[in-house]
């Protein structure tokens, strides 16, 4: 067992050192088929059912590039403000690993399809940090190993391993930043914000389902520290496959405190890969880092070079959607949101849902109220993403419309939403089934008002004597009698009318 690492207090770390970050993000493209063969590109399924001689690396099989994947790569490059190569090739990255049946990964090396870009990232307080992109290149995913019999699921201690090649050959784009300097104490936050912004961008491009939990978006975080007076970068570690946004932030922060303690004690950092432990937020040593030479890269002889015409690139540029950053600015303007309101909206991940609800006829304020408050609480309680709640923006708009038309009170509307969430049907169906309509028929209300007044003659006297506030007790009694299905404002009017006459 390795000893527990010494850590330096975070405040001291950032006082004595400047962190440098490098983020490598792998994104699986959601093309119909794999990168170099016609096998289905789908998550999961019976092991080894989505394979063929090409993605299994059998002798004599030949790869063919998936045009849709190249298109996706170019669109990602353009969205990241990159230059697009006029001509580039694939390269073989040679190493042995059981989940990689060809014994090499078809990747790109010194000729990436996209390079020299940037992504502007907004931090929680609104500060914008520009993260420069070194390159975005095409490659293929590996298969998956399942290690059986050990306590950790890792190969160490396992009795045997199973291999599933369904994922082998799935199109991947690797997006690599230039070293990110000057973020100081905010480095962990910048790392998280960058991956968040990248995820949102990829989602807007509709090129991937960007599920960190399913591995379709994966982040490796490189971290090094420089003493305040240093002129060169320190040695970096690369923490692999950090699989949630929160973990990205935690992993960077942990590495900073771990490396600082070593450096301050006169030690040196080993260039290595590390694994992030979700449970306690620590990282542990992986393998010593190979250098590029170790991989014996060479141009892939079985694939033609990729030479996207400038016309095609411009056509693809024209398909780019509004970028999330611009969209946020526009929405803030159009919906007249304070920075704080916008942040709340972003934090609960409700922008698209509110926009869709507005599209279905609700006002931005009403739609926001429902998603950011009522429904966000519901999602929290159920521990699901807001978007995964079993209610659609159109249904939320319908509930809102029922309130506006006076058919439902706010309280009843919440009940209707509960019914929809419980799978009882559309808002109207829930209203019918649960009998939730507001009693808007004045004669029915008047009967209830008269009964309440008769039951509490002293209060009726008070109101008559000018104490209008006392009407509240009667209104309350009527609401109770109608099981909350009356419009309280109307009831109040009727009470005053009745007592006055
Ligand atoms: P590797 O092949 O080791 O994964 P890459 O070039 O793909 O290397 O990615 C390395 C990442 O680390 C890049 O984002 C790069 O900008 C960044 N990087 C390079 N040197 C340092 C350093 N000293 N400290 C932190 N990050 C670094
Ligand atoms: Mg890399
Ligand atoms: Zn195949």
Lookup: tokens for 257: 């405190």
Extract the tokens encoding 288: 């010593």
Per domain, the residue ranges of the chain are 10-293, 324-434, 442-500
Per-residue confidence (pLDDT) for residue 124, from 0 to 100: 81
> Distances from the Cα of 121 to the Cαs of 197, 216, 484, in angstroms?
6, 21, 48
Q: Would you call 427 helix, strand, or coil by DSSP? A: helix
The answer to whether domain 442-500 has CATH 3.60.21.10 is: no
Ligand 1 pocket residue status of 177, Cβ below 6 Å: yes
Distance 302 CA to ligand 1 centre (A): 29
Judge contact between 369 and 341, C-beta under 8 A.
no
d(CA 81, CA 115) in angstroms, rounded, equals: 9
Which residue in 427, 431, 355 sits closest to 398, CA to CA? 427
Tell me, in angstroms, the distance from the centre of ligand 2 to residue 239's CA.
Answer: 11
Sheet of 104-107: strand order equals 104-107, 91-94, 298-299
Q: How confident is the model at residue 1, as a pLDDT?
A: 43
What the block records as the tokens of 347 is 């934090």
Give the global pTM.
Answer: 0.79
3-state SS track over 255-305: HHHHHHHHHHCCCCCCCEEEEEECCCCEEEEEEECCCHHHHCCEECCCCCC
Q: Tell me which DSSP letter residue 373 carries.
A: I
C-beta 107 within 6 A of ligand 1: no
Q: Whose CA is nearest to atom 12 of ligand 1?
A: 22
- In this prediction, residue 190 carries a pLDDT of 98
Question: Which atom of ligand 1 is found nearest the CA of 23?
Answer: 14
Instruction: Check residue 495 and report its DSSP letter.
Output: H
d(CA 105, CA 234): 29
Local mean pLDDT, 10-residue blocks, the chain (501 residues):
78 98 98 98 94 96 97 98 98 94 96 98 89 98 92 84 96 98 97 96 95 93 96 96 93 98 96 93 87 89 97 98 89 92 88 94 95 94 91 96 86 93 94 81 84 89 86 88 81 86 55
Q: 27 has which bridge partners?
A: 173, 217
Give me ligand 3 centre to Cα 73, in Å.
Answer: 20
Name the one residue in this structure whose structure tokens are 């088929």.
33
- CA-proximal residue: ligand 1, atom 13 (nearest): 22
């Amino acid at each position: 067992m390795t000893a527990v690492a010494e850590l330096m207090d975070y405040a001291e770390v950032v006082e004595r050192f400047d962190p440098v970050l490098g983020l490598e993000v792998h994104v699986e493209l959601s093309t119909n088929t794999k990168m170099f063969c016609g096998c289905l590109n789908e998550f999961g399924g019976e092991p080894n059912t989505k394979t063929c001689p090409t993605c299994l690396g059998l002798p004599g099989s030949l790869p063919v590039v998936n045009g849709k994947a190249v298109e996706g790569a170019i669109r990602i490059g353009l969205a990241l403000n990159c230059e697009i190569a006029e001509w580039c090739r694939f390269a073989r990255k040679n190493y042995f690993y059981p989940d990689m049946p060809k014994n090499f990964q078809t990747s790109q090396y010194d000729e990436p399809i996209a390079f020299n870009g940037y992504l502007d990232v907004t931090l929680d307080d609104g500060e914008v940090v520009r993260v420069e992109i070194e390159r975005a290149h095409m490659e293929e995913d590996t298969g998956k190993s399942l290690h059986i019999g050990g306590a950790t699921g890792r190969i160490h201690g396992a009795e045997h391993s199973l291999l599933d090649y369904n994922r082998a050959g799935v199109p991947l784009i690797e997006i690599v930043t230039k070293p990110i300097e000057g973020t100081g104490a905010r480095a962990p936050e910048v790392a998280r914000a960058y991956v968040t912004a990248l995820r949102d961008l990829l989602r807007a491009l509709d090129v991937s389902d960007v599920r960190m939990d399913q591995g379709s978006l994966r982040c490796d975080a490189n971290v090094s520290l420089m003493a305040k007076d240093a002129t060169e970068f320190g040695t970096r570690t690369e923490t692999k496959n950090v699989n949630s946004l929160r973990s990205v932030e935690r992993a960077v922060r942990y590495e900073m405190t771990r490396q600082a303690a070593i450096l301050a004690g006169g030690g040196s950092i080993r260039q290595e890969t590390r694994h992030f432990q979700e449970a306690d937020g620590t990282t542990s040593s992986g393998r010593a880092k190979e250098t590029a030479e170790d991989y014996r890269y060479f141009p892939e002889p079985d694939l033609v070079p990729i030479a996207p015409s400038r016309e095609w690139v411009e056509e693809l540029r024209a398909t780019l959607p509004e970028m999330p950053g611009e969209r946020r600015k526009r929405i803030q303007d159009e919906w007249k949101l304070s920075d704080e309101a916008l942040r709340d909206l972003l934090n609960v991940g409700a922008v698209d849902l509110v926009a869709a609800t507005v599209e279905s006829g609700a006002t931005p304020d009403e739609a926001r109220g429902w998603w950011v408050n009522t429904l966000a609480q519901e999602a929290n309680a159920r521990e699901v993403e807001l978007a995964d709640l079993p209610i659609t923006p159109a249904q939320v708009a319908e509930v809102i419309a029922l309130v506006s038309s006076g058919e439902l009170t706010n309280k009843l509307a919440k009940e209707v939403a509960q019914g929809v969430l419980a799978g009882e049907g559309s808002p109207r169906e829930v209203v019918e089934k649960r009998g939730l309509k507001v009693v808007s028929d004045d004669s029915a209300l008047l009967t209830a008002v008269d009964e309440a007044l008769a039951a509490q003659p002293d209060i009726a006297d008070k109101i008559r004597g000018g104490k209008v506030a006392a009407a509240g007790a009667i209104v309350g009694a009527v609401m109770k009698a109608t099981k909350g299905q009356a419009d309280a404002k109307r009831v109040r009017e009727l009470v005053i009318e009745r007592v006055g006459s």
